[in-house]
Copies of this chain bind each other. A is one copy, B any other.
């Protein structure tokens, strides 16, 4: 089992395995080998076994893994029993996409608040969440016990929004703005930089023969 901390790359893949295992359970497939699971998620069999090794030992030699058992173990270790409240700042297309994305609900992530600076958007509802003025962040985040803040505003306003979120007590930030933002050490930040992803692809296009 090991009490050591699991590498971030492994954690990310564990969620991937879980997603696949849920599908398998739904199909009433009771057992799967690391090779088969790996093929379904485009990873090697060893990678799968090494990753699952961080969680415990419940594979059966010669047979593979019991899907139900694996599902239970992964859900437990990945904290799927807990629910987290999420607030989205910026109700443009991207913010709306996140608010309406059905995947979050099934993954124990609760979209409980949305903010924007544009007057005409305030008061509108997107997927049951009423958009509020950015000035309401502090009060709302505390009241609604939000732990994850999503920054989906233009680059210029990103740092300011992040500062507001941090001082409201948010513990994690997922940043979609194409800007480098600074937060205190105790706040975990994750950047998803769409234009850099596309640019990196374009680089590899330019540099292959």
Footprint of B on A, CB under 8 Å? Answer: 5, 8, 11-12, 15-16, 19-20, 40-42, 78-79, 82, 84, 86, 92-94, 96-98, 100-101, 103-104, 107-109, 147-148, 171-172, 174, 178, 180, 182, 188, 190, 192-207
Determine whether the beta carbon of B41 is less than 8 Å from that of A199. no
Given contacts A92-B97, A93-B97, contact A107 B188 (CB under 8 A): no
Determine whether the beta carbon of B148 is less than 8 Å from that of A198. yes
Q: Residues of B contacting A5 with CB < 8 Å?
A: 207
Q: Residues of B contacting A147 with CB < 8 Å?
A: 205
Q: Residues of B contacting A103 with CB < 8 Å?
A: 178, 194-195
From B19, B42, B107, B194, contact of A192 by CB (8 A): B194
A interface: dominant SS: helix
In the A-B complex, the 4 residue pairs with the closest CB atoms: A93-B97, A79-B206, A94-B97, A103-B195
Given contacts A41-B180, A96-B93, A195-B103, contact A200 B109 (CB under 8 A): no
